[in-house]
Structure 1
Amino acid sequence: MHSRMDNEERELLAAFERGELESIASKAELARIKAAARATAIKDRRVNVRLSSGDLLDIQAKAMEEGMPYQTLIASVLHKYVTGRLSEHPAPLPRPAGKR
């Protein structure tokens, strides 16, 4: 396995094995990542969903911000919704014309 690594990867692995690296993730971030992993760990069914191009681009951008694949983000959001940990917020009422 080491033969497929470039020099930078070998150096990082060596530093890790020497115990020189520390996680920079906060406890909250680690909890979020673990929850996302649990929510998507058991994948025994496939679902195809049609999305608008704009929604897909927004989802992919949000997933990139969160540091996860967009499919994982979608699965996590759906899991949170069906388990009651994510709820809809009513849309704000439109403002009357001419008022700010």
Structure 2
Amino acid sequence: MKKPKPSYEEQISEDYDKGRFTSVAPSTAELKRFKEAARATFIKDRRVNVRLSSPDLMDIQARAAEEGVPYQTLIASVLHKFVTGRLTEKASRLTTRASGRAKRRRAA
């Protein structure tokens, strides 16, 4: 009988035991770049107050729950992605609601 192929985790464990892994240290320039990126990303030294409509806040809180993060973290993440040009839209499982403005535009 043919021996079954080891799972991914078993293969990693086997390779580690046989000494097939080697440590790859980043260069000094890479370390500096990583440290600067971490510093710029994680230091939150400013506070901003924003007024939102209740329905928008409820939708943000629901989306945050969907993603498994606090809603303020989600807002900060969305803003960060927007200003760095990395914001991409993904359809939500939530039903989108039509604003009154959109309805008025269609009627015009």
If the length of structure 1 is used for normalisation, what is the TM-score? 0.47
State which structure, 1 or 2, has the greater radius of gyration over its C-alpha atoms. 2
Structure with larger RCO (C-alpha < 8 A, sep 6+): 1
